[in-house]
Amino acid sequence: MENPKSILITGASSGIGEALALHYAASGVTLHLCGRDRARLEGVASRSAARGATVSAEVVDVADRDAVRVWVEHCDGLAPLDLVFANAGVGIGQSEGAMEEIAAQTFAINVSGVFHTAHPAADLMRGRRRGQIAIVSSVAGYQGLASAPAYSASKAAVKAYGEALRGYLEPEGVRISVICPGFVVSRITAQNTFSMPFLMPADRAARIIARGLARNRGRITFPWQMVIAARVLANLPMWALDWTARRAPRK
């Protein structure tokens, strides 16, 4: 879908979500944005509107299945959705609480939040036999990381789910793409105290994502250096992974 006109983005108040909103904002485009921080969200909405887009913005908790479904269906009623980004995510450091609590909070947003967004959107698109859904995973989803167990596991889950969903929904006219960024400037990466190789500005990431979606690429992973590193890591023997884990910085 080269020129989507009705676009929904979760996690639109910062990072990749904010950059995507500003990238697509133009005359004739309707943007439906949600986030957790009202002030930041309204700032993104204002800048998007200044570029000519028609913008609606709501504070929505993607962990709330019923609230997200109501919002998605309401947005579709305003302008039938062409493109949906299940983008909202969190990266909670392991030092910020008990493992169980961190895992539960991370999966509520990074996994259930994706389901809550993608499922109602897919239901609507299947009825029209057209539409595109972008599921935001991460390069961290290629291999479980000792530095971020819950985060990497959550991103692995939505990566696998999106890849499977692509083949499942393709016969019904719904396109699914999985986005696996490396380090991108955002509120999540701002928390990291370790070196982040190939750290990319969010606006550049948005351009790469938009090009990939226009070409209906099933998996959009970048930068290429991180793709190579992720694939090498995923194929290391266990003893090598153990050695790497002992030396990895903790998030």
Question: How far is the C-alpha of 226 from the C-alpha of 248, rounded, in Å?
Answer: 16
Is 142 catalytic? The answer is: no
Among the listed residues 212, 228, 223, the one whose alpha carbon sits nearest the alpha carbon of residue 85: 212
Q: Which of 24, 151, 161, 168 is catalytic?
A: 151
Q: Is 221 helix (H, G, I), strand (E, B) or coil?
A: strand
Do 93 and 191 touch, CB atoms closer than 8 A?
yes
Q: Provide the token pair at 187.
A: 């509120």
136's CB contacts (< 8 A; 6+ apart) are 11, 16, 85, 86, 87, 89, 114, 158, 179, 181
- Please write down the HEC assignment for all residues of 20-48: HHHHHCCCCCEEEEEECCHHHHHHHHHHH
CA atoms of 200 and 204, how far apart (whole Å): 7
At residue 14's C-alpha, the angle toward residues 8 and 16, to 5°, is: 65
Nearest Cα to 24, choosing from 34, 36, 35, 33?
A: 33
Q: Strand ranges (DSSP E) for 148-250?
A: 174-181, 219-222
Q: Which residues are catalytic?
A: 151
